[in-house]
């Protein structure tokens, strides 16, 4: 399996490898977006903030914007499954920019919330990458 991932990364832009490369990038972004949305959903549920679409969008947009900036800054589409620099860069950008945008938008923040977002998003944004790497190693050994 690992050789398949490597081959997909080296493939030409027009062949089957290019499709695999695009799919890996899309799956990476999808996994990251899901992590942020899970963070928002759990947070809103714990604070009885409701589950309306407008509320979820209002809470999630700063973190999704930070996520997008992190994806671009790390060129996450090139190596979406690696912990460093992709995972760490996406994680830190998501939290830092997400918190900053919350302040600018008047949503506020607190030290405890910054710590919780660092821990939760770190666990999830780095965690799925670690699990993917371990699974790829296990499959390649088999």
Instruction: Render pLDDT for 79-97 as a digit per residue (tens, 0 to 9).
Output: 999 999 999 999 999 999 9
Give the pLDDT band of residue 63 (cuts 50, 70, 90): very high
Cα–Cα distance between 71 and 40 in angstroms, integer? Answer: 19
Cα dihedral sign for 85, 88, 89, 90?
positive
> Going by C-beta distance under 8 Å and a sequence separation of 6 or more, which residues neighbour residue 128?
31, 35
Alpha helices in the chain (DSSP H): 2-10, 16-46, 53-73, 88-104, 111-141
Query: How far apart, in whole angstroms, are the C-alpha atoms of residue 105 and residue 126?
Result: 27
Lowest mean pLDDT among 13-27, 80-94, 97-111: 13-27
pLDDT confidence bin for 11, thresholds 50/70/90: very low
In the numeric block, which tokens belong to residue 45?
């549920």
Query: Quick one: pLDDT at residue 56?
Result: 93
What is residue 14's predicted lDDT score, i.e. its pLDDT? 57
Residue 140 to residue 142: CA distance in whole angstroms: 6
Nearest to 114 by CA among 103, 106, 128: 103
23-57 pLDDT, tens per residue?
Answer: 999 999 999 999 999 999 999 999 887 778 999 99
């Amino acid at each position: 399996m690992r050789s398949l991932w490597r081959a997909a990364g080296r493939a030409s832009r027009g062949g089957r490898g290019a499709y695999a490369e695009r799919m890996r990038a899309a799956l990476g972004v999808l996994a990251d977006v899901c992590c942020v949305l899970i963070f928002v959903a759990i947070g809103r549920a714990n604070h009885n903030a409701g589950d309306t679409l407008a509320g979820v969008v209002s809470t999630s947009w700063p973190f999704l914007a930070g996520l997008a900036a992190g994806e671009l800054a790390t060129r996450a589409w090139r190596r979406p499954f690696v912990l460093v620099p992709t995972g760490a860069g996406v994680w830190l950008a998501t939290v830092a920019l997400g918190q900053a945008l919350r302040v600018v938008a008047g949503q506020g923040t607190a030290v405890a919330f910054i710590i919780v977002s660092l821990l939760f998003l770190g666990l999830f944004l780095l965690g799925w990458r670690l699990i993917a790497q371990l699974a790829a190693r296990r499959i390649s050994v088999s």
